Amino acid sequence: MTGAGYLMKRLFMAALVLLSVTVLTFGASRLIPSDPAALFAGPRPTAEQLAQARETLGLDRPIAQQYIVFMGDALHGDFGLSLRTHQPILRDILQNLPATLELVIAAMLIAVAIGIPAGVVASARPGGAFDQITRVLAITAASFPAFWLAMLLQLLFFTKLGWLPLSGRLSNDVSLLSPITAITGFNTLDALITGNVSALRDSLLHLVLPAVTLGLYPLGLVMRMTRASMGEVMTERYITTARAMGIPSSQILFRNALKNALGPTLTVLGLTFAFSLTGAVLVEVIFDWPGLGMYVTNAILALDFPVIMAVTLLGTVVYVLINLAVDLAQAAIDPRISLNG
């Protein structure tokens, strides 16, 4: 199968996944007993206000027509109005997404910076002391409950030691005295661009605990996957030949073997990134991090179904696109992989 044929097949499967997810989510939102019009109209609405709200939200149409209209608008980037904020949902998502992206990227950097080197070094001496330690750490990291770790870190580094802030993205005094000029929505990057040193330091301190909490699970997966992949690659003939030629072990590990062992690790990183983007709800709630997770949590508590639909669709699109990108990246990195579906 050609690369174009493989891409078309994957896009067709992605469309089926998106269709299935939207149908199930839309159907579930209509089965739960609630009145979106009453929420949208506000407290103690009159009959006229309720009728106007149903017309505005399109609830006066048949369910099938509502779904068709929703999908048609969504394809044009219009997810409707939030029942809780009365703002366009896309605007709300774009306002909250940078905070979540900053947190997720920081967590992934921690996983990559520690997990990949640790997995590579552990593979150099299978069964050795460092290999055994990384196995235990990887299993512990991947199985540790995020909410428990978050509270332990808060108890240790805020309550006991006082080294790091408890929650939020920025301290109140820094917000008042050295406010960040919003450019990208990433506090650390915006503070760096504008040369706001005090805000940069404060933003990094606020980022540490939630990023470590969110990054622990992918760290364990990356460490284990890198170690397993390297173990297979290290038995290949070209590695044996490189050793016989007297090439330094560090060069064999990090230049020759790692390149061919990165494929499974890339898959784990891609899918974990997509999961963290929409699954960081507990971490954001515990650390009062004003991102997409907090936005969805408030939407769920208020039964704001248009928001839930929009974020579910966004998460599915991210999963599908990242999965496709990882497959293409694997084929580009490892010539042994062909786009044959």
Tens digit of each residue's pLDDT (9 = 90 or more) over 142-161: 788 888 889 999 999 999 99
Give all domains of the chain, ordered by start, each with its CATH number.
Answer: 89-333 (1.10.3720.10)
pLDDT in tens, 304-315: 888 888 888 888
Number of Cβ within a 10 Å radius of residue 155? 12
Name the helix (H) or strand (E) containing 203.
helix 197-233
* CA neighbours closer than 13 Å in the CB half-sphere of residue 88: 9
pLDDT in tens, 93-139: 999 999 999 999 999 999 999 988 888 888 878 878 888 888 888 88
Residue 197 reports pLDDT greater than 50: yes
> What is the C-alpha separation between 313 and 299, in angstroms, rounded?
15
Give the burial string for 256-287 (b: 16+ CB within 10 Å, else e): bbbebbbbbbbbbbbbbbbbbbbbbbbbbbbb
In the chain, the amino acid numbered 188 is: T
pLDDT in tens, 213-271: 999 988 988 888 888 888 777 777 777 777 777 777 777 777 777 777 777 788 788 87
Number of Cβ within a 10 Å radius of residue 253? 20
Q: Which residues contact 197 (CB under 8 A, 6 or more apart)?
A: 191
Tell me the mean pLDDT in the region 57-74: 80
pTM (predicted TM-score): 0.82
Beta bridge partners of residue 269, listed in sequence order: none
